[in-house]
Amino acid sequence: MPVTNFTEADVTLGIVREFASFFAEWAEPDVVVVGAGPAGLAASLRLSRRYKVLVLERGLGVGGGIRGGGMLLPFAAVEEGEASDLLSSLGTRMVRRGKLYFLSGLEAMVRLAKAVLDNGAFIWTGVHVEDLIVRGERVSGVVINWTPIADSGWHVDPLMIPSRAVVDATGHDAFLLRLLERRGRLRLRGMGFMDAPTGEEEVVEASGRVVEGLYVAGMAASELRGTPRMGPVLGGMIRSGLRVASAVEADLG
């Protein structure tokens, strides 16, 4: 007698039915956060306390580039303050060396993602945002397809997810901002040279609303405003996400 009594059809039908139920529930969230790196996850953590938040990530994992640490050495730095306090509250293990804390970027991101999920948000991986829904001058949602479809170059019509706010947390790609730039609605300055201490502060200041309905955080904000890069230092990314969440909250009420 088999221990597990199911058929392959049970697996397939269950997944299809679960997805149909999921998509019906999440087809119109309050906020779409594009990018599940540190800035996107930090924004989602705060926003999901008040709003229905859908996080879209084109890869299959969370954490963005910080998972690779510095030159694939699996550790990152974070300054003492709001970011280190948040990560510590989530159980992230950190060691202080001089003026900085050091941690596993992967551990920090996994713990942050778990907290986002525990708040009731949903992280949907393997999804590429190919365009924006725009009504007049307001960004009103995103246009999505599967990442492998986008990477293959096939023409397959997308689906749409309307929302009250969209956050571009796509990192150096600044993909949503570049959609506006290609249409002549925006100009990106491009990320500045390395200056980690300055970059940590200026990326936070650069985060916020770009146009009505669209907000920017993390390295996408650096690409927009021309702020310095900072390498494997995590604090600015976390604080950038928290700042953009405050901007969204102020607008949505």
Using one digit for the tens of pLDDT, what is the confidence trace for 44-74? 999 999 999 999 999 999 999 999 999 999 9
> Residue 129 falls within a domain, yes or no?
yes
Sign of the CA dihedral running 203, 206, 207, 213: negative
Using one digit for the tens of pLDDT, what is the confidence trace for 10-19? 999 999 999 9
Residue 74: its pLDDT value, please? 95
> Residue 16 falls within a domain, yes or no?
no
Residue 2: its pLDDT value, please? 65
- Read off the pTM: 0.95
How many independent structural domains does the chain possess? 1
> Buried (b) or exposed (e) across 99-132, using 16+ Cβ within 10 A?
ebbbbbbbbbbbbbbebbbebebbbbeebbbeeb
Residue 240, pLDDT above cutoff 80: yes
> Residue 152 falls within a domain, yes or no?
yes
3: confidence class by pLDDT, cuts 50, 70, 90: confident
Tell me what the pLDDT averaged over the chain comes to. 97
Using one digit for the tens of pLDDT, what is the confidence trace for 97-142? 999 999 999 999 999 999 999 999 999 999 999 999 999 999 999 9
- Domain containing 127 — which CATH number? 3.50.50.60
Residue 171 structural domain: 30-252
Give the residue-averaged pLDDT of 8-32.
97
**Contact present, 189 and 224 (Cβ < 8 Å):** yes
> Residue 21 falls within a domain, yes or no?
no
> Residue 247 falls within a domain, yes or no?
yes
> Residue 6 falls within a domain, yes or no?
no
Give the residue-averaged pLDDT of 13-37.
97
Give the residue-averaged pLDDT of 88-95.
98
Residue 138: its pLDDT value, please? 97
Residue 1: its pLDDT value, please? 58
> Residue 187 falls within a domain, yes or no?
yes
Residue 231: its pLDDT value, please? 95
Residue 4: its pLDDT value, please? 82
Using one digit for the tens of pLDDT, what is the confidence trace for 184-237? 999 999 999 999 999 999 999 999 999 999 999 999 999 999 999 999 999 999
> Residue 210 falls within a domain, yes or no?
yes
